[in-house]
């Protein structure tokens, strides 16, 4: 559905470095030690019975000389290693699931935000796939400073990983078919969510629904840029009011 930041695979673009993997694509910010956004596609072909690999690790595909956030970089911080592309969205093979544990796919996420609010939304997204849909999903974070189980922090890992203030996601829901971009219309369901990165959140992710336009205003991104402008103008201004479970 587009490259929202115009990211490129160029070491001279350390704040917007494009990484393409078979399982997802992302824009990486070297000096924040986390992705700006991660984008992936979810359909039955990606879902299977592969167990969670839990092999958190540095991403060897980062350019030489760049600091590699590692499996222990979040230790003692009070923040989870929060997946952007969820482990459970990539269970068709060991390689696919393992890819989600690369640290370039992680953000410092409040345990409540990660384990309750986002887990519920992720489960709902997979429910939509089970109902005959395919999804285009993009997730990201912005701001500096969040509250985890050990209190408020702006950075972790000796300042090498920035803690975001907000965590957002956009889900384009399409009945299974072909020519997906061309099929997006004013009637297409698009779920946009923007949550605080803090403790005390509940499973009610629906209360954080917003518009794509609002997320763009807060991040400077151009989301769903592959869509015709006339379609973007309509769908990006709307706030989803569909079911949440």
83 labelled catalytic? yes
Is the distance from CB of 70 to CB of 106 less than 8 angstroms? no
Alpha helices in the chain (DSSP H): 94-99, 111-112, 119-130, 180-183, 212-219, 229-235
Q: How wide is the angle at C-alpha 39 spanned by C-alphas 184 and 32, nearest 5°?
A: 140
197 among the known binding-site residues? no
At 35, give phi and psi (nearest 5°): -75, 150
Is the distance from CB of 89 to CB of 118 less than 8 angstroms? no
Cα 39 from Cα 36, distance rounded (Å) = 10
Q: Which of 83, 153, 166, 169 is catalytic?
A: 83
At 235, give phi and psi (nearest 5°): -70, -30
In order of 46, 128, 131, 245, the CA distances from 134 in angstroms are 11, 8, 9, 17
Q: Binding site residues, as ranges?
A: 114
Q: Binding site residues for Mg(2+), as ranges?
A: 114
Active site residues: 83
């Amino acid at each position: 559905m587009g490259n929202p930041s115009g990211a490129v695979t160029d070491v001279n673009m350390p704040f917007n470095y494009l990484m393409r993997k078979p399982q997802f694509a992302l824009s990486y910010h070297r000096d924040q030690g986390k992705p700006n956004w991660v984008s992936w596609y979810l359909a039955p072909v990606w879902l299977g019975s592969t167990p969670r690999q839990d092999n958190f690790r540095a991403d060897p595909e980062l350019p030489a000389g760049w600091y590699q956030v590692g499996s222990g970089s979040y230790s003692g911080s009070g923040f989870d290693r929060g997946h952007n592309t969820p482990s459970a969205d990539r269970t068709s093979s060991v390689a696919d699931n393992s890819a989600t544990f690369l640290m370039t796919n992680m953000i410092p996420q409040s345990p409540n935000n990660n384990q309750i609010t986002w887990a519920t939304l992720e489960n709902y997204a997979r429910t939509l796939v089970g109902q005959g849909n395919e999804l285009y999903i993009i997730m990201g974070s912005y701001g500096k400073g969040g509250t985890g189980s050990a209190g408020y922090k702006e950075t972790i890992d000796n300042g090498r990983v920035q803690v975001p203030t907000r965590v957002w996601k956009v889900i384009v829901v399409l009945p299974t078919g072909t020519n997906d971009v061309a099929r997006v219309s004013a009637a297409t369901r698009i779920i946009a969510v923007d949550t605080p990165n803090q403790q005390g959140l509940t499973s009610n992710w629906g209360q954080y629904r917003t518009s794509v336009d609002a997320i763009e205003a807060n991040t400077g991104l151009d989301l769903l840029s592959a869509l015709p402008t006339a379609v973007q103008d309509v769908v990006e201004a709307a706030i989803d009011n569909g079911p949440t479970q």
